[in-house]
Structure 1
Amino acid sequence: MRLIKNFFCSSSLRGTKQSHSANSGGFSSLKPDFAAMTKYFSMLFFVYLSLITNLSAQTQNTDNLYKKPLTDVLKEIQTRFKVQIKYSEPQVKDKWVNCADWRFRTDVDETLANVLTPLDMKVNKEKPGVYKLKEYEYYRWEVQDGWAYLDTLATKYHDKASWEKRKAEIKPELYQALMLSPLPAKPNSKPIITAKRVFDGYSVENIALEILPGVWINGSLYKPLNVKGKIPVVLSPDGHWEKQRYRPDCQLRCATIARMGAMAFSYDLFAWGESMLQFKYEDHRRSLAQTVQTLGGIRILDYFSSLKETDTSRIGISGGSGAGSHSILMTAMDDRIKLSAPVVAMSSYFYGGCPCESGMPIHQCGGGTDNVELAAMAAPRPQLLVSDGSDWTAHTPEHDFTYLQKMYGYYGVQNKVENVHLPEEKHDFGINKRIALYDFLIKNFKLNSAAVKDKYGKYDESKVTIEKENALYVFGDKGEKLPKNAVMGFENLEKLFPINATK
């Protein structure tokens, strides 16, 4: 306003005196100065903009929010603390930080926590001075916090009797948390089985089991040739790796198990593999995925337990990553599983980031639990934990495994839980992880090691035939054999569950 007042008091708006002819009576008039007027209106325009800007800022902060865009705050953090924060534009777009200036502290980590936690975001420290922005992972704890929580859980029991009481509390609640209590009615349909392909020491046939009306779980059954008597079964769910159960390492694993003398059933997680004929990839990232694939595991157990050739005293399960979490849960819930081998999966400080692992409230059962306590529910059945040095299993030998040894000790079989730790390896189901599984199966299921080892005593997977992906399909190359009553789309799947099914 002072600018306007000063402008009006200046001479810049005054006209210029002009003399007129005699008949004008000597009248003098003011002639407008257009240059001055242009300057005047320009200044008015800038004053207006200033007022609007100030008013907008005041409007934002009338509720004392003192907002700043997240991008600006991150840039300020980088400048002030001389660090680098990696992020993409979509991560920060349209995000604001309330009371931004008051969130700064003298410590960069505390400042980042103050800024990002209310936005459900966090940073991972890649190296000193370099951070990467991520969505906050509620299912991931700090290592020491995960260990402390497991120690707290362990105070609830001190011997076999108190632990069995704890198991009896948790188990039925798992079914309830997954909306599988009671179990849905089993469809009265026969499995869909493709033609058998015969290879060196084993055969493969693809199978689809209807687990709900119009919903199938698909897989490939690897069977040994020329085996007499009852045959053990190893359920082999596949995790979140690219190409799922069609991957060479998955085929190598299952075929080798078959060549040793056991059936291996390799199957898809929900909305992966052939399940994507009915559902979208995004549907795997919904909570109900955990329910559907758990039900799928139960139906698979139903099927193989009913076969005359199955040795029901030797049914095992082994999956890696997200399928490792699935293996832990299935073993905790179903006593028909006599052996388990979760690979690069179990951790007290990470519950699995996918909704198919932690989307339903299974970790709220028994007043709160975690994946290590669920793994302990396998005792006294043989269990192998395979861990590595580059993921959430990096600290398995230090705390989680010792807890499980104690739990198995309640039954006097501490040696029945084993840990093969590969500190130099990454998150995969590579050859050394497969060897650990083979050794464990040979030891506990009395399989034929000579059938899969060379003359030097080393495992030989070279006799396995890697099939093309479409050879492992049940419903044809383009899904043309999918039954007409197939449920299509997640919204129709939800109708098969209670109205409170979570999305």
Structure 2
Amino acid sequence: MKKLLTAFLVLLFAAPLFAQTADEGYSRPLADVLQSIEKQFHIQFKYDKKMIDGKQLQGADWRIRPWSLEKTLQAVLSPFDYTYVMDHGKYKVKAYEYARTTDEEGKEFLDYLKTLYNDKDSWEKRKAELKSCMREALRFPALVPAKPDSKVILTPKRKYDGYTVENFAIETLPSVYVCGSIYKPLKMKGKCPVMLNPNGHFGDGRYRADQQKRCAMEARMGIIAADWDLFAWGESLLQFDGTMHRISAAQSIQTLNTTRVLDYLLTMKEADPKRVGITGGSGGGSMTMLVSAIDDRITLSIPVVMLSSHFNGGCPCESGMPTHLCGNRTNNAEVAAMFAPKPLLAITDGGDWSSTVPTLEYPFLQRTYGFYGAESQVEDTHFPAEGHDYGFSKRKAMYEFVAKHFGLNINVLKDASGAFDESKVTIEKEPQMYAFGPKGENLPANAIKGKEALMAMLKKVGF
């Protein structure tokens, strides 16, 4: 009897797994649990220690599913509202993001959407529902009637090799301005296509060299092209500090800015309303897909490094308003599909969330375009070895697609050897591109400043 008692006591105190009881919740430090998962599944975690230290996980060992790493991570991280992404071969633990899921969930999402429509009629019904809801989600019924009557502010033109540039400022909401630049062909003959170039979250904003090259090359090809600042970026900082870029209303304001820029461009007698394109990278790609879906004036769309079924854009300026909750949930692949049957080129790469497009989102787009017998109107140019940018190779793909569908002479952009040549583009310094002067000295007197003034104005117009 004494030997049995001794053996029981050894088991009780030597095996920590069984030292806990259900009453204690089988609690273990989260850091210890993650170490156990690393050993069991032969992986590595990456995380901010502040997120993990001091956290206790109830029912810890019961949450580990030895047959599924994915289900294990979901069970272990979800109690803390954490999730994970792959980061250079490691599983990075991070706070839950409403705009981002996994590749696998993206596939499940698209498979679900396919059950909602199987032909043109059922898809058109779904598309109409989404379009109406998105405009409501952006509060456009309230914002659109508030268009001010002020004239567009224009600076003198600068003439370069084959194109001109002038800066503009448009009052898109009462006392709120958007500033940008218009690039035009040096010699305009007949009607010219129009191209919108919404900016993304790249360093130096719209003033960076690759953005200037893109717009200037479009103009040299015969297009009236425009780009403009993100809300609370660039000259918008004269009115609102950078923190305001991440308020939910930024998505509505930026979408309205895009439509107001197009309103202005189409007032030009040289503009061809039958050839209206839009292209942007990253956050500009999000804007490209959204505006293409809700504004029937767009006739050609090129979202760059942004198309995805599992990422809707991490900035509130892309997904802060409930546009992706429309139709009992949608995603950017379906938003892009709303452009069918008009010409759409997705430009994607292997270094970000658009890496799955060739095998996942592009077939979904082809299916939707197939409802119209228009599969040839949608393309994907994929750069598996490239990353998240609107680099030279991606611009070349855009130039070719635009020239083909707008009936333009692509050869004017090439050198004697037949290679694309951007060397004739003059890269301006940032102050040259300001609409309100080098120091903002020409900011209109009625311009409001700060978050409180903006919120009061939005409330006044019914936002």
1:393 and 2:344 aligned: no
Q: 1:501 to 1:353 in 2, by over 3 A?
A: farther
Structure 2 residue corresponding to 1:175, chosen from 128, 135, 138: 135
8 Å CA contact 2:188, 2:270 repeated in 1: no
CA distance in 2, matches of 1:501, 1:116: 40
Deviations 1:355-409 (A, max 9, x none): 1111111112122222111111111211111111111111212132122222222
**Map of 1:430 onto structure 2:** 391
The structural deviation recorded for 1:68 is 6.7
Structure 2 residue corresponding to 1:285, chosen from 240, 246, 253: 246
Q: 1:155 to 1:75 in 2, by over 3 A?
A: closer
> Partner letter of residue 238 of structure 2?
L
1:409 and 2:370 aligned: yes
**Map of 2:426 onto structure 1:** 465
What SS does structure 2 have at the residue aligned with 1:366? helix
1:348 and 2:291 aligned: no
Q: How many pairs does the alignment contain?
A: 441
The structural deviation recorded for 1:166 is 1.8
The answer to which structure, 1 or 2, has the higher relative contact order (CA under 8 A, 6+ apart) is 2
CA distance in 1, matches of 2:262, 2:39: 58
The structural deviation recorded for 1:446 is 1.5
**Map of 2:278 onto structure 1:** 317
**Map of 2:115 onto structure 1:** 155
CA distance in 2, matches of 1:272, 1:95: 38
From the CA coordinates, give the structure whose radius of gyration is larger.
1
CA distance in 2, matches of 1:144, 1:433: 27
8 Å CA contact 1:122, 1:135 repeated in 2: yes
Gaps of 5+ in 2: 1-22
What SS does structure 2 have at the residue aligned with 1:327? helix
CA distance in 2, matches of 1:150, 1:109: 19
**Map of 1:488 onto structure 2:** 449
**Map of 2:326 onto structure 1:** 365
Structure 1 residue corresponding to 2:80, chosen from 119, 134, 137: 119
Deviations 1:324-367 (A, max 9, x none): 01100001100111111001111112111111111111112122
CA distance in 1, matches of 2:34, 2:327: 41
Q: 1:299 to 1:64 in 2, by over 3 A?
A: farther
**Map of 1:443 onto structure 2:** 404
What SS does structure 2 have at the residue aligned with 1:363? helix
What SS does structure 2 have at the residue aligned with 1:131? strand
CA distance in 1, matches of 2:406, 2:169: 26
> Partner letter of residue 176 of structure 1?
E
Deviations 1:50-73 (A, max 9, x none): xxxxxxxxxxxxx96787765566
CA distance in 2, matches of 1:68, 1:484: 61
| TM-score where L is the length of structure 1 | 0.81
8 Å CA contact 1:344, 1:427 repeated in 2: yes
8 Å CA contact 2:65, 2:71 repeated in 1: yes
1:135 and 2:89 aligned: no
**Map of 1:249 onto structure 2:** 210
> Partner letter of residue 136 of structure 1?
Y
The structural deviation recorded for 1:126 is 4.0
CA distance in 2, matches of 1:184, 1:354: 27
8 Å CA contact 1:238, 1:268 repeated in 2: yes
**Map of 2:19 onto structure 1:** none
8 Å CA contact 1:288, 1:501 repeated in 2: no
Percentage of identical aligned residues: 51
CA distance in 1, matches of 2:316, 2:54: 26
8 Å CA contact 2:290, 2:335 repeated in 1: yes
8 Å CA contact 1:251, 1:466 repeated in 2: yes
What SS does structure 1 have at the residue aligned with 2:140? coil
**Map of 2:172 onto structure 1:** 211
Structure 1 residue corresponding to 2:106, chosen from 146, 154, 167: 146
CA distance in 1, matches of 2:58, 2:246: 30
The structural deviation recorded for 1:81 is 7.2
The structural deviation recorded for 1:321 is 0.9
What SS does structure 2 have at the residue aligned with 1:497? helix
CA distance in 2, matches of 1:268, 1:312: 24
CA distance in 1, matches of 2:458, 2:53: 36
Greater CA deviation, 151-160 or 428-437?
151-160
Gaps of 5+ in 1: 1-62
The structural deviation recorded for 1:133 is 2.4
8 Å CA contact 1:270, 1:292 repeated in 2: yes
